[in-house]
Amino acid sequence: MAREQRRPRKEDPPFDKNTWYPKTSLAKQVKAGTITHIDQILDNGMSILEPGIVDALMTKISTELLLVGQSKGKFGGGQRRVFRQTQKKTREGNKPKFATYCIIGDNDGHVGLGYGKSKETVPAREKATRRAKLNIIKIRRGCGSWQDNSQKPNSIPFRVEGKCGSCKITLLPAARGTGLKIEKECAKMLKIAGIKDIISITKGKTKTKINLLEACFAALKQLMQVKVQKDQESIVGLIEGNLEVAK
Protein backbone atom coordinates (compact mmCIF):
# COMPACT_ATOMS: atom_id res chain seq x y z
CA MET A 1 0.00 0.00 0.00
CA ALA A 2 1.43 3.34 -1.03
CA ARG A 3 2.25 5.86 1.66
CA GLU A 4 0.07 8.92 1.94
CA GLN A 5 1.62 12.11 0.67
CA ARG A 6 2.53 14.60 3.38
CA ARG A 7 0.48 17.76 3.22
CA PRO A 8 2.53 20.95 2.82
CA ARG A 9 2.63 23.26 5.81
CA LYS A 10 0.38 26.28 5.51
CA GLU A 11 2.34 29.49 5.22
CA ASP A 12 1.67 32.33 7.62
CA PRO A 13 -0.45 35.16 6.20
CA PRO A 14 1.51 38.22 5.03
CA PHE A 15 2.00 41.02 7.53
CA ASP A 16 -0.37 43.96 7.10
CA LYS A 17 0.89 47.18 8.63
CA ASN A 18 -2.52 48.86 8.37
CA THR A 19 -4.25 46.29 10.58
CA TRP A 20 -1.35 46.16 13.05
CA TYR A 21 -2.08 47.66 16.48
CA PRO A 22 1.24 48.37 18.27
CA LYS A 23 1.44 48.38 22.06
CA THR A 24 4.90 49.75 22.90
CA SER A 25 6.15 53.26 22.20
CA LEU A 26 8.86 51.94 19.87
CA ALA A 27 6.31 50.04 17.79
CA LYS A 28 4.11 53.14 17.57
CA GLN A 29 7.07 55.11 16.15
CA VAL A 30 7.61 52.37 13.54
CA LYS A 31 3.97 52.49 12.42
CA ALA A 32 4.00 56.30 12.33
CA GLY A 33 7.06 56.27 10.05
CA THR A 34 9.48 57.91 12.49
CA ILE A 35 11.72 54.82 12.34
CA THR A 36 12.21 53.49 8.84
CA HIS A 37 15.07 50.96 9.22
CA ILE A 38 15.92 48.20 11.67
CA ASP A 39 19.46 49.54 12.12
CA GLN A 40 18.09 52.66 13.80
CA ILE A 41 16.85 50.42 16.60
CA LEU A 42 19.87 48.12 16.83
CA ASP A 43 22.47 50.90 16.74
CA ASN A 44 20.81 52.72 19.64
CA GLY A 45 20.52 49.57 21.76
CA MET A 46 16.73 49.61 21.91
CA SER A 47 14.88 46.46 22.93
CA ILE A 48 12.45 44.92 20.46
CA LEU A 49 9.40 43.73 22.39
CA GLU A 50 7.00 43.16 19.50
CA PRO A 51 7.60 40.90 16.49
CA GLY A 52 5.55 43.27 14.35
CA ILE A 53 8.44 45.75 14.45
CA VAL A 54 10.64 43.35 12.50
CA ASP A 55 7.82 42.48 10.09
CA ALA A 56 7.18 46.15 9.38
CA LEU A 57 10.82 47.16 8.85
CA MET A 58 12.20 44.04 7.13
CA THR A 59 10.21 43.17 4.03
CA LYS A 60 12.65 40.60 2.61
CA ILE A 61 12.86 38.17 5.51
CA SER A 62 13.52 34.42 5.40
CA THR A 63 12.48 31.90 8.05
CA GLU A 64 13.75 28.36 8.53
CA LEU A 65 13.50 25.68 11.22
CA LEU A 66 16.68 23.87 12.22
CA LEU A 67 17.08 20.10 12.57
CA VAL A 68 17.57 19.80 16.33
CA GLY A 69 15.55 16.60 16.90
CA GLN A 70 15.61 13.01 15.77
CA SER A 71 12.87 10.49 15.07
CA LYS A 72 12.82 7.05 16.62
CA GLY A 73 15.03 4.55 14.85
CA LYS A 74 16.88 1.33 15.47
CA PHE A 75 20.11 1.89 17.43
CA GLY A 76 19.48 5.63 17.40
CA GLY A 77 19.58 5.89 13.61
CA GLY A 78 16.38 7.84 13.15
CA GLN A 79 16.01 10.64 10.63
CA ARG A 80 16.71 14.21 11.73
CA ARG A 81 13.62 16.29 12.57
CA VAL A 82 12.93 19.95 13.24
CA PHE A 83 11.15 19.12 16.50
CA ARG A 84 12.92 17.68 19.54
CA GLN A 85 10.45 15.55 21.47
CA THR A 86 10.66 14.91 25.22
CA GLN A 87 8.28 13.11 27.55
CA LYS A 88 7.34 13.39 31.19
CA LYS A 89 5.98 10.26 32.86
CA THR A 90 3.07 10.86 35.21
CA ARG A 91 0.28 8.78 36.73
CA GLU A 92 -2.03 9.84 33.91
CA GLY A 93 0.50 8.71 31.30
CA ASN A 94 3.21 10.25 29.14
CA LYS A 95 3.01 13.99 28.50
CA PRO A 96 5.06 14.84 25.39
CA LYS A 97 6.49 18.25 24.54
CA PHE A 98 8.03 19.54 21.32
CA ALA A 99 10.93 21.99 21.05
CA THR A 100 12.41 23.62 17.97
CA TYR A 101 14.84 26.33 16.89
CA CYS A 102 14.04 28.95 14.26
CA ILE A 103 16.33 31.35 12.41
CA ILE A 104 15.28 34.46 10.52
CA GLY A 105 17.30 36.88 8.42
CA ASP A 106 17.44 38.98 5.28
CA ASN A 107 20.57 37.33 3.78
CA ASP A 108 22.25 40.73 4.08
CA GLY A 109 23.71 41.30 7.54
CA HIS A 110 20.80 40.57 9.92
CA VAL A 111 19.99 37.30 11.69
CA GLY A 112 17.92 36.13 14.66
CA LEU A 113 17.71 32.86 16.61
CA GLY A 114 14.71 31.75 18.67
CA TYR A 115 13.80 28.73 20.80
CA GLY A 116 10.23 27.53 21.26
CA LYS A 117 8.74 24.68 23.28
CA SER A 118 5.12 23.64 23.67
CA LYS A 119 2.78 20.66 23.97
CA GLU A 120 1.95 20.96 20.25
CA THR A 121 4.16 21.43 17.21
CA VAL A 122 2.42 24.49 15.78
CA PRO A 123 2.60 26.62 18.97
CA ALA A 124 6.25 25.62 19.37
CA ARG A 125 7.04 26.79 15.84
CA GLU A 126 5.17 30.06 16.31
CA LYS A 127 6.90 30.71 19.64
CA ALA A 128 10.34 30.05 18.12
CA THR A 129 9.62 32.36 15.18
CA ARG A 130 8.38 35.11 17.47
CA ARG A 131 11.43 34.89 19.74
CA ALA A 132 13.78 34.86 16.74
CA LYS A 133 12.34 38.21 15.65
CA LEU A 134 12.84 39.63 19.14
CA ASN A 135 16.47 38.41 19.21
CA ILE A 136 17.51 39.78 15.82
CA ILE A 137 21.03 41.25 15.64
CA LYS A 138 23.23 43.04 13.12
CA ILE A 139 26.60 41.57 12.16
CA ARG A 140 29.76 42.79 10.49
CA ARG A 141 30.98 41.30 7.26
CA GLY A 142 34.11 41.77 5.22
CA CYS A 143 36.58 40.23 2.78
CA GLY A 144 38.04 36.98 4.02
CA SER A 145 41.43 37.52 2.38
CA TRP A 146 43.86 40.45 2.48
CA GLN A 147 44.50 39.95 -1.24
CA ASP A 148 40.84 40.46 -2.14
CA ASN A 149 40.25 44.06 -3.20
CA SER A 150 36.54 43.59 -3.86
CA GLN A 151 34.12 45.69 -1.82
CA LYS A 152 31.52 42.92 -1.76
CA PRO A 153 31.67 41.14 1.62
CA ASN A 154 31.82 37.35 1.53
CA SER A 155 33.06 36.40 4.99
CA ILE A 156 33.70 37.87 8.46
CA PRO A 157 36.41 40.52 8.99
CA PHE A 158 38.22 38.86 11.91
CA ARG A 159 38.29 35.82 14.17
CA VAL A 160 35.53 35.41 16.78
CA GLU A 161 34.65 32.77 19.36
CA GLY A 162 31.48 31.62 21.04
CA LYS A 163 30.77 29.19 23.86
CA CYS A 164 27.70 27.49 25.31
CA GLY A 165 28.03 24.60 27.75
CA SER A 166 30.93 22.44 26.65
CA CYS A 167 30.59 23.51 22.99
CA LYS A 168 33.11 26.08 21.83
CA ILE A 169 33.21 27.30 18.23
CA THR A 170 35.74 29.53 16.49
CA LEU A 171 34.86 31.30 13.24
CA LEU A 172 37.72 32.26 10.94
CA PRO A 173 37.64 34.43 7.79
CA ALA A 174 37.94 32.52 4.52
CA ALA A 175 38.88 33.49 0.97
CA ARG A 176 36.23 33.88 -1.70
CA GLY A 177 35.07 30.50 -3.03
CA THR A 178 35.89 28.51 0.11
CA GLY A 179 32.28 27.91 1.09
CA LEU A 180 30.81 27.33 4.53
CA LYS A 181 33.16 24.85 6.18
CA ILE A 182 31.03 24.37 9.27
CA GLU A 183 28.33 22.10 10.67
CA LYS A 184 25.21 21.97 8.49
CA GLU A 185 22.78 23.65 10.87
CA CYS A 186 25.26 26.40 11.72
CA ALA A 187 25.84 26.83 7.98
CA LYS A 188 22.13 27.60 7.56
CA MET A 189 22.45 30.34 10.19
CA LEU A 190 25.48 31.89 8.50
CA LYS A 191 23.90 31.68 5.05
CA ILE A 192 20.72 33.45 6.15
CA ALA A 193 22.95 36.13 7.73
CA GLY A 194 24.67 36.81 4.39
CA ILE A 195 27.99 35.00 4.97
CA LYS A 196 29.20 32.87 2.06
CA ASP A 197 32.71 31.72 3.03
CA ILE A 198 34.00 30.72 6.45
CA ILE A 199 36.21 28.23 8.30
CA SER A 200 35.28 26.90 11.74
CA ILE A 201 36.95 25.05 14.61
CA THR A 202 34.72 23.27 17.15
CA LYS A 203 35.53 21.72 20.52
CA GLY A 204 33.47 19.94 23.15
CA LYS A 205 30.35 17.80 22.77
CA THR A 206 29.20 19.19 19.44
CA LYS A 207 26.53 16.51 19.01
CA THR A 208 24.37 18.59 21.35
CA LYS A 209 22.87 20.73 18.57
CA ILE A 210 21.22 23.22 20.89
CA ASN A 211 24.47 24.21 22.59
CA LEU A 212 26.30 24.30 19.26
CA LEU A 213 23.74 26.67 17.74
CA GLU A 214 23.82 28.93 20.79
CA ALA A 215 27.62 29.02 20.63
CA CYS A 216 27.55 29.96 16.94
CA PHE A 217 25.03 32.73 17.59
CA ALA A 218 27.18 34.00 20.48
CA ALA A 219 30.16 34.14 18.10
CA LEU A 220 28.15 36.25 15.65
CA LYS A 221 27.33 38.68 18.46
CA GLN A 222 31.06 39.18 19.05
CA LEU A 223 31.41 40.68 15.57
CA MET A 224 29.73 43.90 16.75
CA GLN A 225 31.45 44.04 20.14
CA VAL A 226 35.04 44.13 18.88
CA LYS A 227 36.39 47.64 18.35
CA VAL A 228 37.92 48.30 14.93
CA GLN A 229 40.00 51.34 13.98
CA LYS A 230 38.75 53.41 11.07
CA ASP A 231 41.95 53.03 9.05
CA GLN A 232 41.53 49.23 9.19
CA GLU A 233 37.92 49.16 8.00
CA SER A 234 38.78 49.77 4.35
CA ILE A 235 41.55 47.16 4.39
CA VAL A 236 39.28 44.29 5.44
CA GLY A 237 36.28 45.70 3.55
CA LEU A 238 34.23 45.92 6.74
CA ILE A 239 30.49 46.51 6.30
CA GLU A 240 27.86 46.65 9.03
CA GLY A 241 24.35 45.43 8.28
CA ASN A 242 22.95 45.79 4.77
CA LEU A 243 25.27 46.38 1.86
CA GLU A 244 23.10 49.12 0.30
CA VAL A 245 22.72 51.00 3.59
CA ALA A 246 26.46 50.82 4.28
CA LYS A 247 27.20 52.51 0.96
pLDDT at 240: 85
Q: pLDDT band for 243, please (50, 70, 90 cuts).
A: low
User: Are the C-beta atoms of 139 and 238 separated by less than 8 Å?
Assistant: no
Question: Alpha-carbon distance 200 to 221, whole Å?
Answer: 16
Look at residue 245 and tell me whether its pLDDT is greater than 80: no
Per DSSP, the residues of 12-60 read: PPPP-STT----SHHHHHHHHTS--STHHHHHTT-----HHHHHHH-SS
Cα 170 to chain centroid, rounded = 17
Look at residue 60 and tell me whether its pLDDT is greater than 70: yes
Q: pLDDT band for 74, please (50, 70, 90 cuts).
A: low
Q: What's the mean pLDDT in 109-128?
A: 95
pLDDT at 148: 74
User: What are residue 145's phi and psi, to 5 degrees?
Assistant: -135, 145
CATH class (in words) of the domain with range 139-246: alpha beta
Mean residue pLDDT of the chain comes to: 88
Q: pLDDT band for 32, please (50, 70, 90 cuts).
A: very high
pLDDT at 1: 38
Domain boundaries, the chain: 23-57, 139-246
133 exposed, middle or buried (CB, 10 Å; 0-12, 13-18, 19+)?
buried
pLDDT at 10: 57
State if pTM tops 0.85.
yes
